[in-house]
Every structure is written in C-alpha cells, then in structure tokens.
C-alpha cells in the first residue's frame, strides 16, 4: 500500500530556521538521510522532501472568471505549515506506523527526540471510468 507521511512545523520556527544550533540541525538531517537510505534500500521509499520556508510559498485560487489570485506566503492565518513529506509503498499499515514512529523521534536540540506528530494518509487509487 502507498502512503503519504507528513510533518508540520510552526510557521515562526520554519521562518527562523527552527532556532536550533547548527550541530542539532546537522544531527536531524543526518538522521533523516539515514532513514531515507534505509527505506530506499528496502524498496519502500518513493520520494521524500523537506519543504522550503513559508516565505517561499504561494497560494493560488482561481477567480470566477478563471484568472488566478496569487498570495505570497507566509500566510497569517496559518499557524503551522507542511514542513516535509515521505511517499512510501509498504506491505501494510503496521509498517507505515513503524516508519512514522521513526520520523517522530527525529533528534532535536541536544539529541532529545522531538516526538513530533506525523500524519499518515493512504494514497487512494482513482476509480476506473
């Protein structure tokens, strides 16, 4: 089954580079690279990306006449933003929960696990038409 796993971050924290020491950021990135390598080696990883700062984002919505209305980020109404995602193809829900748990315990400041929430969404298949 294919799943998308998503992590979110506070808008201010994302804009300020998390406010972590450089060594802590390196430890987090190294942990994520190792996890991604293991998932790629097992054939389960389809894609994984960290997303840019909220200032780099845009929101687009079509007006009734079809013309786009473009709003530059960050968006004042948003308290959290999507910070990164993984697309995986795993045997079952148990496995995706294992992966989400590993993402959740990513090391933070001082090496302590951040225990961040990870959203798991099954990827649906379009109905045949």
Question: Residue 27 falls within a domain, yes or no?
Answer: yes
Question: Residue 91 falls within a domain, yes or no?
Answer: yes
Question: Residue 108 falls within a domain, yes or no?
Answer: yes
| Most trustworthy range by pLDDT among 16-20, 40-44, 107-111 | 40-44
pLDDT at 118: 97
Residues 7/59/88/1 CA torsion (nearest 10 deg): 110
Does residue 107 carry a pLDDT above 90?
yes
Q: For residues 111 and 9, what is the distance between their CA atoms, to the nearest angstrom?
A: 18
Mean pLDDT of 56-69: 93
Q: Please state at what angle helix 93-104 crosses helix 22-41, rounded to 10 degrees.
A: 160
Question: Residue 127 falls within a domain, yes or no?
Answer: no
Does residue 8 carry a pLDDT above 80?
yes
pLDDT band at 110; cut points 50, 70, 90: very high
Question: Residue 19 falls within a domain, yes or no?
Answer: yes
pTM: 0.86
What CATH number has the domain bearing residue 11?
A: 3.30.70.1060
Question: Residue 32 falls within a domain, yes or no?
Answer: yes
Does residue 18 carry a pLDDT above 70?
no
Average pLDDT value over all residues in the chain: 90
How many structural domains are present in the chain?
Answer: 1
Question: Residue 69 falls within a domain, yes or no?
Answer: no
Q: What is the DSSP letter of 107?
A: B
**Contacts of residue 15, Cβ cutoff 8 Å, sequence gap at least 6:** 53, 54, 55, 74
Question: Residue 63 falls within a domain, yes or no?
Answer: no
What is the span of the domain harbouring residue 25?
Answer: 2-51+77-122
């Amino acid at each position: 089954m294919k799943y998308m796993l998503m992590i979110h971050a506070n808008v201010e924290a994302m804009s300020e580079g998390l406010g972590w020491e450089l060594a802590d950021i390196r430890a987090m990135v190294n942990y994520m690279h190792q996890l991604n390598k293991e998932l790629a080696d097992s054939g389960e990883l389809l894609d994984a990306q960290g997303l840019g700062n909220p200032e780099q984002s845009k929101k687009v919505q079509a007006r009734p006449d079809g013309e786009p209305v473009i709003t530059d980020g960050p968006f004042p109404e948003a308290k959290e933003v999507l910070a990164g995602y993984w697309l995986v193809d795993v045997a079952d829900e148990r496995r995706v929960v294992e992966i989400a748990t590993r993402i959740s315990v990513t090391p933070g400041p001082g090496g302590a696990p951040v225990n961040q929430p990870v959203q798991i969404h099954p990827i649906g298949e379009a109905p045949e038409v």
